[in-house]
């Protein structure tokens, strides 16, 4: 957890995405954390069980446990920072986790970037991208078979429960939440803000390219000013 030099009144929990999205957005989350600390806020970045630097294997990760981990992290952040307000940011499945955690123990504000709301569509997209990647001879000397890539999405193992949870996931965004839309798939309403530059989460040609967006950070910073 990063803390400012004096006790903050507001803290921010950064809920990470999963799989390839986690790797690609690592720098973005680090930049956001530094921006929040410069504004005098306490910030916590963390990894879910089976993801990132946490214990466990990737195929043991479940959405239910990710939500539980986010709630534990939120409680730890509240206790350590003694904040009066707790905000949450999440991109992609990190946004999905933040939304489900919010349903159980509401945050004072939500900031979401391209959150996954339709789990069925996201699962189908992952499977399509994975099949396309296996056939890509720019990455492999020969196309990989479906059997060679079984149980993975874009190089990351996943468990059966995780796939089932995606198939059952249908979420909605509270009207007061900031929703940053880089793919321009959400209607322009309320706090839904279209980013000028697509982040390319589902662009196979950018699979190894870090997600960076000065515009996103500026939008989040501008939104923070409205909350004070």
Summarize pLDDT for 23-67 with one digit per residue, the tens.
999 999 999 999 999 999 999 999 999 888 888 888 889 999 999
Identify which of 162, 11, 176, 182 has the alpha carbon closest to the alpha carbon of residue 91.
182
Per-residue model confidence (pLDDT) at position 54: 86
Q: What is the pLDDT of residue 57?
A: 85
- Kindly state the percentage of the chain with pLDDT values over 90: 76
Measured over the CA atoms of residue 199, residue 203, residue 207 and residue 208, the dihedral's sign is negative
Q: What is the mean pLDDT of the chain?
A: 92
pTM, entire model? 0.93
- Bridge partners for 89 per DSSP: 14, 111
Q: Work out the pLDDT band at 17, boundaries 50, 70, 90.
A: very high
Q: Which domains does the chain have, with CATH numbers?
A: 10-118+173-227 (3.40.50.1820)
Environment class of 46 (CB within 10 Å of its CB; exposed 0-12, middle 13-18, buried 19+)? buried
- With beta carbons less than 8 A apart as the criterion, state whether 201 and 114 touch: yes
Helix (H) or strand (E) holding 83: none
The per-residue pLDDT for 1 is 66
Please report the pLDDT score of residue 228 as a whole number: 67
The pLDDT, as a whole number, for residue 14 is 98
Residue 30 token pair: 């680090």
- Residue 3's closest CA among 33, 31, 41? 41
- Pick the more confident residue, 168 or 137: 168
Distances (CA, A) of 117 to 31, 74, 176: 25, 22, 16
Whether 92 contacts 201, CB under 8 Å: yes
| Per-residue pLDDT at 177 | 95
CB atoms under 10 Å from CB of 215, counted, come to 15
Beta-ladder partners of 5: none
pLDDT tens, residue by residue, 183-196: 998 876 668 899 99
- Given a cut of 90, is residue 8 above it in pLDDT? no
Share of residues in the chain with pLDDT > 70 (%):
95
Q: What is the pLDDT of residue 7?
A: 58
């Amino acid at each position: 957890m990063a803390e400012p030099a004096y006790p903050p009144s507001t803290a921010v929990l950064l809920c990470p995405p999963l799989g390839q999205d986690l790797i690609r957005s690592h720098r973005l989350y680090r930049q956001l954390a530094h921006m929040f600390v410069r504004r005098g806020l306490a910030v916590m970045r963390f990894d879910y069980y089976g993801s990132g630097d946490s214990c466990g294997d990737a195929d043991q990760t479940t959405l239910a446990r990710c939500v539980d981990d986010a709630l534990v992290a939120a409680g730890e952040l509240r206790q350590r920072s003694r904040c009066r307000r707790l905000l949450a940011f999440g991109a992609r499945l990190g946004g999905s986790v933040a939304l489900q955690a919010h349903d159980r123990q509401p945050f004072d504000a939500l900031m979401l970037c391209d959150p996954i709301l339709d789990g069925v569509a996201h699962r189908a997209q992952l499977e399509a991208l994975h099949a396309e990647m296996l056939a890509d001879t720019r990455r492999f000397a020969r196309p990989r078979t479906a059997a060679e890539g079984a149980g993975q999405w874009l190089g990351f193992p996943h468990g059966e429960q995780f796939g089932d949870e995606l198939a059952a996931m249908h979420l909605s965004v509270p009207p007061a939440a900031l929703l940053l839309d880089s793919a321009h798939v959400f209607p322009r309403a309320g706090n839904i803000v279209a980013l000028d530059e697509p982040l390319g989460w589902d662009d196979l040609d950018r699979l190894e390219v870090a997600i960076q967006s000065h515009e996103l950070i500026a939008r989040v910073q501008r939104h923070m000013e409205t909350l004070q």
